[in-house]
Amino acid sequence: MIIVDYDFKQVLEELDLQADRVLASLVVLREMEMKFTNMTDTNDKREYAEIMRFQVGILEMDLGVIKLDAVLMTDEQISEWIESATDSVEKEKREDTTSGLLQKLEILQEEMTATKRDMVHVTFN
């Protein structure tokens, strides 16, 4: 049994915020991809492709940070934190926070994979 002396609420809220930021950036990146597809000027297209590839790299790093933060908390620690709630209402809040974040992180992973797949054609020879 782990002694829970750390409140994971702040860490989970920060992870949730980071995930929201990355998801919002993915929306912008997809809009950029649509604009890129319609570009005709070769110089503009070359510059835009570089910006988009750079943005994908940043998003991958952000996702890596999120994963590292998430890995620092074991399932056992999270379970103990949930169980250490002072009452059933607090326990339910902790469960909701945790499950909501896990769902968001799954969506984030799926969106990153789809974005990377869709961005393969964003090249300029």
Q: Where are the domains of the chain?
A: 9-120
Considering only residues 116 and 26, tell me which one the structure prediction assigns the higher pLDDT. Answer: 26
> Which of the four pLDDT bands, split at 50, 70 and 90, describes residue 124?
low
3-state DSSP assignment of residue 35 = helix
Q: Write out pLDDT tens, residues 1-33.
A: 444 456 788 888 889 989 998 998 898 888 888
Which DSSP letter does residue 8 get?
A: T
Cα separation, 26 vs 51, in Å, equals 14
Q: Write out pLDDT tens, residues 31-87.
A: 888 898 889 999 998 898 888 888 888 888 888 888 888 787 888 889 999 999 999
Q: H-helix or E-strand containing 91?
A: helix 88-118
Enter the tokens of residue 54: 């750079």
Find the distance separating the first CA and the last CA of the chain, reported in whole Å: 58
Q: Write out pLDDT tens, residues 84-105.
A: 999 999 999 999 999 999 999 8
Cα separation, 50 vs 63, in Å, equals 20
Cα separation, 54 vs 17, in Å, equals 22
Considering only residues 118 and 90, tell me which one the structure prediction assigns the higher pLDDT. Answer: 90
The pLDDT assigned to 1 comes to 45
Q: H-helix or E-strand containing 55?
A: helix 42-71
pTM score of the predicted model: 0.77
CA atoms within 13 A on the CB side of 35: 14
